[in-house]
Amino acid sequence: MSMIVGWSGTVREHHTEMTGHHTLRSTEEAVGDRLGGLNLDFEAMWAVSNIYRASTAIRNHLEQTVLRDTGLTWTGFVVMWVVWIWGESETRHVAKEAGIAKGTLTGVLKTLESHRYVRRAPNPADRRRVMVTLTSSGERLMRTLFPQFNQEEAFVVKELDSQRRRALAASLRVVVQHLEGTVRP
């Protein structure tokens, strides 16, 4: 357990085991015991499993620190990030960029609208389509929040030197580009 400073400046206890009640080591040992006799690509399994566990731990950490006092969920933050970076966008594009279903986006946008962070309006070129934009308070929140978010990103990878950070980013980029270029039946 360690102490962390939240977005609002409050100090609180933080439990470092964030991905469930089993540690990474105990999970790897249990998987090895259960699957050791199978003909599997264990290197691929460990790589993908660690990507998943790392992303879950990072998401949990950011939700419990930076996002905790904002009223934003992880998905709400991602939606706001997409609209902040790309500007006014159609809902179908926002959903795709955020990696969520359009139906999920509808609920997220309703919540974000209730906080007055986003605004929806019909697309003037095709009124059946809906455009999303950040409000001025949504813009202010992202300008204020993102530097703090980035500080936590730096905390997440602080055990990696600059060379290892670049290598990690490059390796993950290769995985993403491979999957973006792959069409499987």
Render pLDDT for 127-164 as a digit per residue (tens, 0 to 9): 899 999 999 999 999 999 999 999 999 999 999 999 99
Distance, in Å, from the CA atom of 110 to the CA atom of 120, rounded to the nearest integer, reads 9
CA 37 to each of CA 9, 34, 45, 158: distance values in angstroms, whole numbers, following the listed order: 51, 8, 15, 37
- For the record, the structure tokens of 80 come out as 């706001």
- Structural contact between residues 60 and 18, judged by C-beta atoms closer than 8 angstroms: yes
Residue spans of the domains in the chain: they are: 1-69, 74-139
Architecture of the domain made up of 74-139? Orthogonal Bundle (1.10)
Q: Does pTM top 0.85 for this prediction? A: no
Task: Please state, for a pLDDT cut of 90, what percent of the chain lies above it.
Answer: 68
